[in-house]
Amino acid sequence: MWKVAMSEEVGKALLSVVERVNLAATRRPKALPALPPRLVAVSKTKPPEMVVEAYRHGQRYFGENYVNELVEKASDPLILESCPEIKWHFIGHLQKNNVNKLLAVPNLFLVETVDSPKLADKVNSSWQRIRGASTQRLKIMVQINTSGEQSKHGLPPEETVNTVKHILSQCSALHFAGLMTIGRYGYDLTLGPNPDFQMLLSRRQEVCGSLKLPLEDVELSMGMSTDFEHAIEVGATNVRVGSIIFGYRDYPNSATNTPNPSPFPSPAPSPEKTSKAVSEEAAKKMQHLTVSEH
């Protein structure tokens, strides 16, 4: 089914999201740091061919939330060959026993879901080993459970400052990039600003105040398909958008916690526009969308 619709649909949907991201950024209060928002295209359960299609339309940042699925997709020969500048975000729950596997992923860019000092220590030591002689630090964010729901992972909000402090002082292989939240689903925006986003903003304020960090150095990852514009308007620097780019997800056996295990269908004969030039041009147009790499 996706074969037929994919190539036009993914590109079109992506470009419309990019436009909406840019428009939302113009509506931000001037007092907020003017960081251009980074769009992370969440490709979980979707085949490599769709990632390549979005890449050809200029998208560079992609998110996955199951370690095994990310390992598989990031090492897929088609993606390795067609997407040399791809940057993967890990946005799922991370268990200590999966850290080594995750950190070996090619083109891993940012781990958004560190949610305890112990996990940070594990990621730190694992990265020290994996990077070998390199001094490159691994970018991470701290995930906060802003809604306090049992079902959501993340650090209790009141532990934010101490955890960030721990990372800055004890985890020399990590680059603390910001705070991330998922928040309550289905919040009704007619009731006012999303309280989960407001809480992330106030925790950033607190972190920056206590630890003497400039606001610009602490990103906020919040906002998904249904609320990314609102998130950007209130200060998100990183939005994670899946279904409105790639279509709704099928979870076989409604097992929402397991990645789609079935082998993906073989790709449709690729259309003419596979040229690197097209993709690079598109990427250039989108450069203003991406936060510079520190």
Ligand X SMILES: *Cc1c(COP(=O)(O)O)cnc(C)c1O
Of 98, 125, 198, 225, the one binding ligand X by CB under 6 A: 225
Question: Which of 54-62, 132-140, 150-158, 239-247 is the region at the interface with ligand X (rule: CB under 6 A)?
Answer: 239-247
CA distance 50 to 77: 14
State in angstroms the smallest separation of the CB of 256 from ligand X: 10
Q: Under the criterion CB under 6 A, does residue 46 sit at the interface with ligand X?
A: no
Q: Under the criterion CB under 6 A, does residue 45 sit at the interface with ligand X?
A: no
Q: Under the criterion CB under 6 A, does residue 122 sit at the interface with ligand X?
A: no
Alpha helices in 212-264 (DSSP H): 228-233, 243-246
Residues between 139 and 158 that touch ligand X (CB under 6 A): none
Q: Under the criterion CB under 6 A, does residue 231 sit at the interface with ligand X?
A: no
Question: Which of 101-109, 190-198, 241-249, 258-266 is the region at the interface with ligand X (rule: CB under 6 A)?
Answer: 241-249
Q: Under the criterion CB under 6 A, does residue 6 sit at the interface with ligand X?
A: no
Which letter does DSSP use for residue 292 in this model? P
How is 106-122 classified by DSSP, letter by letter? TTEEEEEEE-SHHHHHH
Q: Which contacts (CB < 8 Å, 24+ apart) does range 168-172 have?
A: 168/211, 170/117, 170/120, 170/121, 170/124, 171/120, 171/121, 171/123, 171/124, 172/124, 172/137
**Which residues make beta-bridge pairs with 41?**
62, 241
Q: Under the criterion CB under 6 A, does residue 42 sit at the interface with ligand X?
A: yes
- The token pair at 186 is 């289905």
Q: Under the criterion CB under 6 A, does residue 54 sit at the interface with ligand X?
A: no
How many chain residues touch ligand X (CB under 6 A)?
Answer: 11
Question: Which of 6-14, 153-161, 236-244, 267-275 is the region at the interface with ligand X (rule: CB under 6 A)?
Answer: 236-244
Q: Are 115 and 123 in contact (CB under 8 A)?
A: no
Q: Under the criterion CB under 6 A, does residue 182 sit at the interface with ligand X?
A: yes
Q: Under the criterion CB under 6 A, does residue 242 sit at the interface with ligand X?
A: yes
Q: Under the criterion CB under 6 A, does residue 65 sit at the interface with ligand X?
A: yes
CA distance 132 to 23: 42
Q: Which residues bind ligand X (CB under 6 A)?
A: 42, 44, 65, 91, 182, 224-225, 240-243
